[in-house]
Structure 1
C-alpha cells in the first residue's frame, strides 16, 4: 500500500536513488525530515550584523565577471548597491547567473557581509521578482534536488500521514510543551513562521535524544542483569599485592579499584569503561583487578591494539606477577609454531593464566579453559565484532574497556551510555608536569638550539610529523623529509625513523635501540602515541601541530615526563593567529579532560570519536555538544521509564516499547 511507486513522479530510476538513501516506502519519505532550513526573511542594513547570515535586497551596478580558480570551482563577482551603499558581491560556483544579472536588475542576496571592506559573500541569489519571504527545507538527499524531494514528501504526507502513530509518551509531551506528532508532520516539511520552526526543532531534538538514550539505557540495564559466575577472590592476596607496590595508590585509583572489584564479585556481568588522563595509573588498577580474578580461579585475557603495546603490557605484568603463582603469557603473530603450541596448551588446560596479545587472542585455535575476565586496552581501536569475538571465548566474562583518551561527559553519555563508567582524574604525585611551548616555523633555529641542549644532557627526543611521505596536495611536514633534515643538522647524534609502513621487525629494532639510548632522536608519525614508555625521553617536538586535535597532542605529550627529569613539549605551527589561539590552551593546562571538552567544542563529535556507533550518532537536528542539557534530561527520562517494571505492560508505553524493539533488532550495540 505504501510503496514508493504509489507516489506520483517516482519510477524505477527514482526508486533506486531513494533506496540508495535508505528510503524504501512512503513512510520513509514522510520521516526523512529536512536537515536544515534556509530562512529567507528580508532584513535591512540597520538590523544586519557583520558576519551574520542575512537576506537583503540589492541592485546590480556592474557586469558580472567569472574567475575560474581550479577545476569545478569558480567565483562570480559583481558590484551592487544596498540601500545606497556600494558593495562588491562574490558567489561561488554560480557562473551561469551572469547571463541573468543585467545592470539595474533588482535582486535578493543571502549570505554575510563585511562593512569594513564593503564586501558581501553570497550563498544564494534570487531575482527580486522570483523571491518570496519563506522558509525553505533543505534535505541534502544524494542525487535528488530539494525541490523534487519536497514534492514527494508532501504527496506522501497527504496520502499516508494519518496512518502514523505518536510513540512519544503523552506525559513527556505535556511536561516539555512539545507539539504532538501529527502537528509536527503537518508543518515539518513546510514551516511558514519562525515560531513554527522553533516548535519543530524542540520536538525533534528532544525526541531524537530521548529515543537514543532509551536504546542505550535499555542495553546497559539489560547487560547489568545478565548472570555471571561468582568470583570468590583472595582478598589477602589483593591486599598483599597493593602493599608490595613501590608507591601509594591515589584516591581515584582506590575508588576505581573498588568499583571494578565490586562488579567482579557480583553475580552479574561487568560491562565497564575505565578512562583516565595520561599518566593517571590505569594499568596498575587493571593489574589489581586481574590479580583478584586470577585468585578466584578464572583466566584473564588482555587485548591491545598493537604488538608494541601488547609487549609493553606483558613486560609490566610479568614484572608485577613474577613471584606469584600465575602464568603471564604473550600471544603475538611472531611466535614459532612450537612457542605458540606451548602457550595454547597452557591456555586450554590451566586456569592460572593471564594471556596478553593483539587480535590473535580470539583466533579460532585459541581455546580458553575458564575465561572469566576480558580487558580491552585502547578499546576504540577495535571494532564491535572483534570485541564480541573475544568475549564469546568465555561464558559471560566480566569486561573492562580501557581508554587513555579522556572522554568529555557529553560524549561519554552518548557513546558509552550502555556501559558503566569509571574515571581517574587524579595523577600520582611523582608524575612530572611537561612544560609546553608554541613555536612558528620561522623559529626553527631556536627549536634546534633547545633540542641541542637536551641532547647534550644525554636525554632523548621524540619528533612527530602528521605524514609519512611527501604529498603533492599539501605542504605538511612528513617523517622522511624531517628525518633527512635532522640527520643533516645533528650530525653527531643518531636519528631513528618510525612509521606505520615500516615492517614490524624493523619497528621493534628501532624501538629497542631507542630504549637502549642508542638512538637519540626518534622521528615518527603518531604510532608512538600509545604504548611507548622511555623514561630518558624528555622532549617532544611536534611538526604541524595545528593538524592534530588537542586530545591527540595531549596523548603525544604523555610519552614524556615519565621520570623525575624536567620535560618539554615544543609545538610547531603555521604562522596564523587563529591556529595559535587554538593551541595556546596546551601551554596553560595539562588536564586531559579540559582539553577534550575544548576539542569537542572546536572539532565536533565526528572528529573526536568517529569510530564507535557512528550510525547511532547521526541525528537529524540534535547536536550532542550544543544540546548537552537536553541529552542529560533525556537520559534521566529514559531511565525513569525503564526502571519501573510495570511500565513494560502499561498500554500508554506500548508504542514506545514497540519502537525500541524494532530498533534493537537492527542495532549492533557492543
Structure 2
C-alpha cells in the first residue's frame, strides 16, 4: 500500500477481529503457536489476511549503483570492499567503516548502535552490499545505519523488496516467507466475474496481489505508491464493494425483521407542541413525518437524524419518544457525556412532566440509592422515558417494554455499546442523532444502511455568527470585548481545553482563566464549569448561567454540545489551534441562538502547524456545517472523523473516499444486481474481505 506520507488519512488501520488461526492454516504456513499469536496481533489469522497484508514501502535491491553516481537522500544499494573499521568514542561511541567500490570511490558507513556481529561482518577486505541513503557527513559522504549483507555468492534480487507492518519478534524475512506461502495456497479463482472486471478495466485479484507483494524492477517506487495503479484500483474496488454488499444485506435483514408498530393517537405529541413557545420549522416537520412513518412500520427503524448545531434535533427526538409512549412502549435516550445526557434529561423532564410522564435519569455518578430507584422505575415501567449515559446499557438495567432507542452523537459510541443497548429489547426501532453533518461520500460509504433525515434550516430569527481569529498576544483586547459584551446585557462563554496545568502542552487552564478574568473584570459575575465537578454542582452553575445570574461562564469543552442559552453573544475559545474542526464548530454553535448578532473569537498561539492553519482557515471561512464536515473528512480521513479508534467502525484500509469516488459509485451501482443475480459471488466476496467482522456493520 502507498506509504502514508499525508496526514489526512491513515490507511494502515486494521479491522476489528477476534478470530484465531486454525491448526490447518498453521500447518500450511509451517509455524508454531507462538508465531501464530504474533500474527494475531497484526490481525493475520487466515491465508487471505496474509495475502491482503500489503507493504508499507519497498527497497530496491535489484541493481547496484556506483558510489560516484549515487544521488543524495535517495535509498540506493552499493557494492564495495571494506578498507578500514574503527570504533570511535567521541562525541559518542560509534562504529565507522570506510568502504570503496570498483571505481575507487570512497564512502563511510556509520553505526551509532552496533553489535559484535556488525564488526565481524565488516572486517577489512570483506566485500559487502549496503542499502541506505547517502548524505554529506563530517568526514565525507556517508550512510548512517545502512542495511548490510555479504556480497560473495549472492545474486541480485529479481523483484523489489517489500517492507511490511510488523510486531516485535516477527522479522521481515519471516513475514515475507509467510505471505508468499499464503499467496501460493489461496484459490486462484476470482470472486468477480470476468465480464465485470472487463467492464471496469480491472486486473484479476491474484495478479494484483502478486504485483504488489513482489514488484518487478521495471516498476519504480513512485509507481507503486500511486493509488491509480491498476493493482491498487482493484483492491480499492473490492474493499468498497464488500462494504456496499454488507450494508445492503444488513438493510435487507433489518427490513425482513419484525418490530412492534409504534402508532399513537398523537395526543401527547400534540399536547407538547401546544405548550412550546415556538413552532417547528419546515425541516423539523419533515423529519418528524419521516420518523412517524418509520415507527408505524413492522420492521425496525434505523434512521439518522442529522442537522447543524442549533437546528432543533432535540424536540424532534422528544416527539419520537412520545410516539413510542403513546403506543404503550418505553423510549431510551443515550448521550456520550454526562453533561449532555443530563441536559437532555432536564429538557425532557421540563417538557414531559406537564403531560403526566415520568422521565428517569441514569448515570454512573448517581448515588447507589438514586441509581437503584431509577433502575426500578425503568424495569417496572413507571418511567416511560429513560435518559442516561452508557450506564443505560449495563447488564443490570432492564426495561419493562422498550420500543425505541435514541442515541445522540451516535458516532462517539462504540459499536459494541450501541449493540448492547439495542439488545435490551426485541427488534427495537433506532433513531440516531448527529450534530456533525455527514459528508455525501461518507454517507454513501459508512452509512449506506441508514435512512437519513436532514434538518437543513435554522429556526427563524437567528443571525449569522461572526468568527474572528486573534493571536493570544492580544488577549487583553479580548478581555475588553468581554467587558463590552457584558455591559450590553449579553453573556459570554470562555472555553479552555484543560483543567490542570500540563507541562507538555502548557495550555491555559480553566481555573487560572477564571481567576485571571475575575481579577481583570472585578465587576462581572464569572462562573466555572468542568467535567470534574459533581453533577449537581455542574447543574447548579449551568442553571445560574441560563438564568443570567452569571455574565461569563469559563468552561472546558463539556459545553461542546447541548447547551442552549439564547442570551449568549460571545464565545471565546482558547488554544483553538489544538481543537478539531467538528469541536470548534460545535462550540461556536453555543452562541448565535438569539436574534442579536454574535461573535466567536478563536485565540491561537504561534507557531502553528500546517494542519492547525488549515483547520483555522476552514472554520474562519465557513459557517455551513456540511462544508466544514467535508473539509474535516479531507483533513482527517474517515477513521478520525467517525471516531473509529474508539468505535470499532470497520475502516477502509485501502480506498480513499475523496480520491476513489468513481470506484465507490461503481460499487454502489453493482452491489444490488450482484445480490439479486449472483448471491454465490456475494458470499465469497464478503467471506474474503470481511469474514467474522460482517456482523458489526448493521449496528
Length-normalised TM-score, structure 1: 0.80
- Which residue among 166, 171, 176 is the counterpart of 1:141? 166
Residue 364 of structure 1 and its aligned partner are, at CA, apart by 5.2
3-state SS of paired residue (2:249): helix
Partner residue of 2:501? 470
Alignment size in residue pairs: 629
The answer on 1:663 being equivalent to 2:692 is yes
What is the CA deviation profile of residues 48-73 of structure 1, one whole-angstrom value per residue up to 9, with x for unaligned ones?
A: xxxxx977899xxxxxxx9x999xxx
3-state SS of paired residue (1:23): coil
What is the CA deviation profile of residues 66-104 of structure 1, one whole-angstrom value per residue up to 9, with x for unaligned ones?
A: 9x999xxx9x9xxxxxxxxxxxxxx999887x999xxxx
Partner residue of 2:411? 380
What is the CA deviation profile of residues 384-407 of structure 1, one whole-angstrom value per residue up to 9, with x for unaligned ones?
A: 333333333333221101111222
Q: 1:439, 1:572 within 8 Å by CA — same for their partners in 2? A: yes
What is the CA deviation profile of residues 96-143 of structure 1, one whole-angstrom value per residue up to 9, with x for unaligned ones?
A: 7x999xxxxx99976999xxxxxx99999789x999897442311123
Residue 5 of structure 1 and its aligned partner are, at CA, apart by 6.0
Inter-CA distance 387–236: structure 2 relative to 1 (3 Å threshold): same
3-state SS of paired residue (2:355): coil
Q: 2:331, 2:385 within 8 Å by CA — same for their partners in 1? A: yes
RMSD of the TM alignment (CA)? 4.5
3-state SS of paired residue (1:584): helix
The answer on 1:151 being equivalent to 2:177 is yes
The answer on 1:184 being equivalent to 2:208 is yes
Q: 1:462, 1:541 within 8 Å by CA — same for their partners in 2? A: yes
3-state SS of paired residue (2:406): strand
What is the CA deviation profile of residues 265-317 of structure 1, one whole-angstrom value per residue up to 9, with x for unaligned ones?
A: 11111011111110111112222222333222322222233343333223333
Distance 1:627 1:620 in 2: 13
Distance 1:324 1:19 in 2: 55
The answer on 1:22 being equivalent to 2:48 is no
Residue 259 of structure 1 and its aligned partner are, at CA, apart by 1.5
Residue 238 of structure 1 and its aligned partner are, at CA, apart by 4.6
Distance 1:502 1:236 in 2: 39
Inter-CA distance 535–347: structure 2 relative to 1 (3 Å threshold): farther
Inter-CA distance 278–25: structure 2 relative to 1 (3 Å threshold): closer
Query: Unpaired runs of 5+ in structure 1?
Result: 43-52, 59-65, 77-90, 101-105, 114-119
3-state SS of paired residue (1:393): coil
What is the CA deviation profile of residues 322-354 of structure 1, one whole-angstrom value per residue up to 9, with x for unaligned ones?
A: 44354444445547848964883476245x823
Distance 1:421 1:667 in 2: 20
Partner residue of 1:582? 615
- Which residue among 196, 212, 220 is the counterpart of 1:172? 196
Partner residue of 1:344? 376
Distance 1:182 1:338 in 2: 61
3-state SS of paired residue (1:356): strand
The equivalences for 1:265-276 within 5 A come to 265-276=296-307
Inter-CA distance 175–442: structure 2 relative to 1 (3 Å threshold): same
Inter-CA distance 392–183: structure 2 relative to 1 (3 Å threshold): closer
Residue 257 of structure 1 and its aligned partner are, at CA, apart by 1.4
Partner residue of 1:228? 259
Residue 588 of structure 1 and its aligned partner are, at CA, apart by 2.7
- Which residue among 53, 56, 65 is the counterpart of 1:32? 53
Residue 219 of structure 1 and its aligned partner are, at CA, apart by 1.3
Residue 417 of structure 1 and its aligned partner are, at CA, apart by 2.9
Distance 1:606 1:222 in 2: 26
Distance 2:437 2:376 in 1: 35
Distance 1:136 1:317 in 2: 62
Inter-CA distance 26–292: structure 2 relative to 1 (3 Å threshold): closer
- Which residue among 485, 489, 492 is the counterpart of 1:461? 492
Distance 2:332 2:648 in 1: 29
Q: 2:361, 2:388 within 8 Å by CA — same for their partners in 1? A: yes
Partner residue of 2:453? 422
Inter-CA distance 124–540: structure 2 relative to 1 (3 Å threshold): farther
Distance 1:360 1:630 in 2: 41
Distance 2:310 2:550 in 1: 24
Residue 210 of structure 1 and its aligned partner are, at CA, apart by 1.1
Inter-CA distance 309–618: structure 2 relative to 1 (3 Å threshold): closer
The answer on 1:263 being equivalent to 2:294 is yes
3-state SS of paired residue (1:272): strand
Inter-CA distance 367–32: structure 2 relative to 1 (3 Å threshold): closer
Q: 1:348, 1:369 within 8 Å by CA — same for their partners in 2? A: yes
Of residues 396-405 and 500-509 in structure 1, the stretch that sits farther from structure 2 once superposed is 500-509
- Which residue among 557, 563, 583 is the counterpart of 2:594? 563
Inter-CA distance 433–112: structure 2 relative to 1 (3 Å threshold): farther
Residue 617 of structure 1 and its aligned partner are, at CA, apart by 3.7
Inter-CA distance 339–418: structure 2 relative to 1 (3 Å threshold): closer
Partner residue of 2:104? none
Length-normalised TM-score, structure 2: 0.77
What is the CA deviation profile of residues 169-199 of structure 1, one whole-angstrom value per residue up to 9, with x for unaligned ones?
A: 4443222122123323432311124498523
Q: 2:564, 2:593 within 8 Å by CA — same for their partners in 1? A: yes
The answer on 1:634 being equivalent to 2:667 is yes
Residue 458 of structure 1 and its aligned partner are, at CA, apart by 3.7
What is the CA deviation profile of residues 614-662 of structure 1, one whole-angstrom value per residue up to 9, with x for unaligned ones?
A: 65544442223432332233233223323x2x543xx555533655894
3-state SS of paired residue (1:626): coil
Partner residue of 1:606? 639
Distance 1:658 1:442 in 2: 58
Inter-CA distance 377–264: structure 2 relative to 1 (3 Å threshold): same
Inter-CA distance 501–354: structure 2 relative to 1 (3 Å threshold): closer
The answer on 1:213 being equivalent to 2:249 is no
Of residues 295-304 and 536-545 in structure 1, the stretch that sits farther from structure 2 once superposed is 295-304
Of residues 425-434 and 378-387 in structure 1, the stretch that sits farther from structure 2 once superposed is 378-387
Partner residue of 2:401? 370
Partner residue of 1:251? 282
Query: Unpaired runs of 5+ in structure 2?
Result: 1-22, 64-72, 79-87, 97-108, 123-128
Residue 572 of structure 1 and its aligned partner are, at CA, apart by 0.9
